[in-house]
Chain A
Amino acid sequence: MLTQNRFEPGQRLTRRGPPITLQACTDFGALLGTDAPIHNDPAYAAKTQFGTVISQGPLLLACYETWLCELFGDDAWSRSGRLAAKFVSPAKLGEEVSLELIAGEIAGQRATFELRVTCGDRLLAVGSAAIDLP
């Protein structure tokens, strides 16, 4: 578990994002109500401006919760976590998504991060996260 002494401002952490499969998008949509056909119907999606099924934006972010919990603990996340992001470009079926956390400054016990979701050179989402250090 990370504490204040274990990361430096500017430090970059990366990990693989969620698998963008039809099953994942379908299940995610069924669970959360984000089940519009653009997220689970290949025939429908093929006729849209995206040309294929796209993942829900929150699916790209959901792994950050796991990551922050691993780094700081479930309790710190549950009681102080904050995450905000803007969706720039959708992830399409089969694409490999990467997640990045860039450590920011620490104010008191509050650690901040910039987050970036990418597929190769393409930016999918950008935002920030904050959490109280345990």
Chain B
Amino acid sequence: MSMIEPDRRMGGWTGAGYDDIRVGQEFPSYELRIEAADVARFYGCLGEVRPTPETGSRIPSFLLNEIRAMKSGMKLPPGVLHAQEELEMISPARLGEVLTVAVMIADKFIRNGKRFVVVLQRVASAADGRAIMKIRRILYWPC
């Protein structure tokens, strides 16, 4: 059991604690459907004005860089923050196609008195399994 005090600066200890996280854990495949309104809203977040996206148009990769898939299998405690992010593109995702997201806990470690969890995520086409992107993110885990 890790002996570092939990970081409660952003709330009480709820959700999965660091010691409860199992390296190698794989989450059930998560179905991801992106709508045109999602794409429009996403670009709005970036301050970009774009015409309404059409079926078949490319879905922005960063819109697929989501954590709902992980949250569907684990309750995150308050205070989880992105520490590092790595995205590798393989093929474009198109508006209108159903996607799947596979999530795995790849590693966890303590560095400089802080807990971190490494998550691998793969996005693919649900129809034919075509690989779309790979994500490796390191999350600061507060407790």
- Bound state CA distance, A37 and B80, in angstroms? 11
Chain B, 29-70, CB within 8 A of any chain A CB: 38, 41-42, 44-48, 58, 60-63, 65-70
Say yes or no: is B4 at the interface (Cβ < 8 Å to chain A). Answer: no
- Closest B residue to A56 using CB positions: B82
CB neighbours of B61 from chain A (8 A): 65, 77-78, 81
Known: A24-B44, A56-B82, A65-B61. 11 other contacts (CB 8 A): A24-B45, A31-B38, A32-B67, A38-B10, A61-B62, A65-B62, A78-B58, A78-B92, A79-B89, A84-B85, A87-B81
Residues of A contacting B: mostly = helix
Least Cβ–Cβ distance between A19 and chain B, in angstroms: 5
Interface contact B89-A33, CB-CB below 8 Å: no
Residues of B within 8 A of A87 (CB): 81-85
**A3 interfacial contact with B, CB 8 Å:** no
The digit string for B76-118, where 1 denotes a CB below 8 A from any CB of A, is: 1011111111111111100000000000000000000000000
- Contact bitstring A53-64, B, C-beta under 8 A = 1, else 0: 000111101110
List of 4 A-B pairs having minimum Cβ-Cβ separation, nearest first: A33-B68, A57-B82, A78-B92, A62-B62
Judge whether B84 and A80 touch: CB under 8 Å. no
Say which residue of A59, A78, A83 sits within 8 Å of B86 (CB atoms).
Answer: A83
The interface size bin for chain A is 35 or more
Asked if A75 is at the interface (CB within 8 A of a chain B CB), the reply is: yes
Contacts of A63 in B (CB 8 A): 46, 48
Complex: how many Å from CA A86 to CA B116? 13
Cβ distance B42 to chain A, nearest Cβ, rounded Å: 6
Residue among A36, A37, A48 facing the most chain B CB atoms (10 A cut-off): A36
Q: How far is B140's CA from A14's CA once the two chains are assembled, in angstroms?
A: 29
Interface SS majority for chain B = mixed
Count residues of chain B with CB under 8 A from any CB of chain A. 38
Q: Are B92's CB and A32's CB within 8 A?
A: no
| Chain A positions within 8 Å of B82 at CB level | 34, 56-58, 87
- Which residues does chain B contribute within 8 Å of A66, judged by CB atoms? 46, 48, 60
Within the complex, the shortest CB–CB distance from B110 to chain A, in Å, comes to: 17
CB atoms of B84 and A32 under 8 A apart: no
Identify which of A48, A77, A80 contacts B10 (C-beta below 8 A).
A48
B48:A27 contact, CB within 8 angstroms? no
Please give, as numbers and ranges, the residues of chain B lying within 8 Å of A31 by CB-CB distance: 38, 41-42, 45, 63, 66
Choose among A19, A58, A80, A82 the residue that contacts B62 (Cβ–Cβ < 8 A).
A58
